[in-house]
């Protein structure tokens, strides 16, 4: 297996946890790489969407993830990760 185009990306939408002193920003993002497996080039994307009291941040991060990855390559994309989806 050969890998190329290893990248790290940060979400614009992040979770902020209020404290008496100041808000704590929880950074999040995804990593991606291109790999050729059995002569098939693919882009792999690994992500961990932020958990939270509501799905607003997760939905915004998922939208950003799709917008920024789907338009960035002509390769088929394989997504994997913890999407923190409600049941």
Query: What is the distance between the alpha carbons of residues 43 and 64, in angstroms, rounded to a whole number?
Result: 17
Rounded Cα distance, 21 and 18, in Å: 8
By three-state DSSP, how is residue 27 classified?
coil
Listed residue (81, 69, 61, 67) closest to 34, CA to CA: 69
Radius of gyration of the chain (CA): 15
Of the candidate ranges 24-33, 47-56, 64-73, the one whose mean pLDDT is the lowest: 47-56
> How does pLDDT run across 5-49, given as a tens digit for each residue?
889 999 999 888 899 999 999 889 999 999 999 899 999 999 999
Confidence band for 87, pLDDT divided at 50, 70 and 90: low
CB 62 within 8 A of CB 44: no
């Amino acid at each position: 297996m050969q890998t190329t185009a290893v990248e790290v990306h940060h979400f614009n939408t992040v979770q902020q946890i209020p404290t008496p002193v100041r808000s704590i920003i929880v950074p999040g993002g995804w990593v991606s790489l291109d790999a050729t497996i059995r002569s098939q080039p693919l882009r792999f994307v690994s992500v961990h969407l932020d958990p939270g009291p509501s799905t607003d941040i997760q939905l915004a991060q998922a939208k950003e993830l799709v917008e920024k990855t789907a338009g960035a390559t002509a390769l088929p994309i394989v997504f994997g990760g913890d999407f923190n989806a409600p049941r």
